[in-house]
């Protein structure tokens, strides 16, 4: 059995929250077990019976405890409209949402249960109708079992690109989908948290989650089971 996990927080950058929320309704309306971390005011009055909404606000993210004591810098090559510190903190917190979902275990998954992260607004990329979206999600995710981190990879993981990993976006991983069993995901969450804190303490810096994950991958290759994809339907179909 698989639990889908996602999140939506308002006002984290200058994108249009209304548009993103509309895409997120495709996730909300899915008839599969799911846990959604979301601003309390956006929890709908009616929704699928096998959905659990967890009210959160951005200040609940652990990384905010480092803001007051550090002048945290952001990547120099980024989109200032989108890549705010709130946005990057949220992206880096995906693994913590997964960790929390595992701890809550609302659907009594047991040791063999699988969890998968899917970005709340993923249909912005897929552009599918609701019926097709639900069918594809069910076909590609439900019933698949991995004992490593199953994650989409865009760039060649065996090739070192000439970029500054701290200031350039690195698309070794697509970012929008990853999953696996409880054990591997809890290890991934802890290593992501440790790496984020390490970079903040040593460099007063933070960057996109996909960059963080690549640094973790290089140190823990055997934790991962990547699949090839792009920012299109292959992100879910190749899972």
pLDDT in tens, the chain (239 residues): 899 999 999 888 876 566 778 888 889 988 899 999 999 998 988 776 789 999 999 999 999 998 865 689 999 988 888 899 999 999 999 999 999 999 999 998 777 889 999 999 999 888 888 899 989 888 888 889 999 999 999 999 999 999 999 999 999 999 999 999 999 999 999 999 999 999 999 999 999 999 999 999 999 999 999 999 999 999 999 99
Q: What is the tally of structural domains in the chain?
A: 1
Contacts 24+ apart (CB under 8 A), 39-45: 39/8, 39/9, 39/10, 41/10, 42/8, 42/10
The whole-number pLDDT of residue 69 equals 59
Q: What does the pLDDT read at residue 79?
A: 87
Query: Can you name the residues that pair with 7 across neighbouring β-strands?
Result: 37
3-state SS class at 226: strand
CA contacts within 13 A on the Cβ side of 83: 15
Which of 204, 207, 88, 218 shows the shortest CA–CA distance to 161? 218
Residue 212 neighbours by CB under 8 Å, 6+ apart = 92, 192, 195, 196, 199
- Residue among 87, 84, 133 nearest 235 (CA): 133
> Sheet harboring 224-228: ordered strands across?
51-55, 34-38, 2-8, 114-118, 173-181, 149-153, 224-228
Per the listing, tokens 């690549």 go with 214
Q: Measuring CA to CA, which residue among 169, 50, 53 is closest to residue 120? A: 53
- Report the alpha-carbon distance of residue 217 to residue 224 in Å, rounded: 7
pLDDT of residue 195: 98
Tell me, rounded to whole angstroms, the distance of Cα 66 from its chain centroid.
21
Residue 159 CB-density burial (10 A; 0-12 exposed, 13-18 middle, 19+ buried): exposed
Domain residues for the domain of 81 are: 2-237
What pLDDT, on the 0 to 100 scale, is given for residue 13? 84
The CATH number of the domain holding residue 163 is 3.90.550
Asked if residues 101 and 5 have their Cβ atoms less than 8 Å apart, the reply is yes
């Amino acid at each position: 059995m698989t639990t889908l996990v996602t999140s939506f927080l308002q006002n984290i950058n200058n994108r249009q929250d209304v548009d993103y929320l509309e895409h997120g309704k495709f996730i909300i309306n899915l008839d599969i077990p799911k846990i959604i971390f979301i601003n309390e005011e956006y929890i709908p009055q009616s929704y699928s019976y096998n959905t659990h909404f967890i009210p959160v606000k951005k200040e609940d993210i652990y990384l905010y405890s480092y803001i007051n004591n550090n002048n945290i810098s952001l990547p120099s090559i980024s989109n200032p409209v989108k890549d705010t510190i709130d946005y990057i903190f949220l992206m880096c917190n995906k693994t913590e949402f997964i960790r929390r979902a595992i701890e809550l275990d609302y659907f009594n998954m047991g040791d063999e249960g699988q969890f998968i992260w899917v970005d709340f607004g993923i249909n912005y990329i897929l552009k599918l109708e609701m019926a097709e979206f639900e069918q594809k999600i069910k076909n590609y995710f439900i019933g698949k079992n991995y004992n490593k981190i199953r994650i989409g990879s865009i760039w060649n993981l065996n090739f070192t690109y000439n970029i500054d990993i701290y200031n350039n976006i690195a698309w070794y991983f697509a970012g929008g989908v990853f999953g696996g069993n409880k054990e591997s995901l809890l290890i991934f969450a802890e290593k992501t948290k440790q790496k984020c804190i390490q970079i903040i303490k040593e460099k007063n810096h933070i960057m996109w989650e996909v960059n963080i994950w690549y640094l973790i991958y290089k140190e823990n290759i055997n934790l991962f089971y990547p699949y090839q994809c792009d920012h299109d339907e292959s992100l879910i179909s190749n899972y």
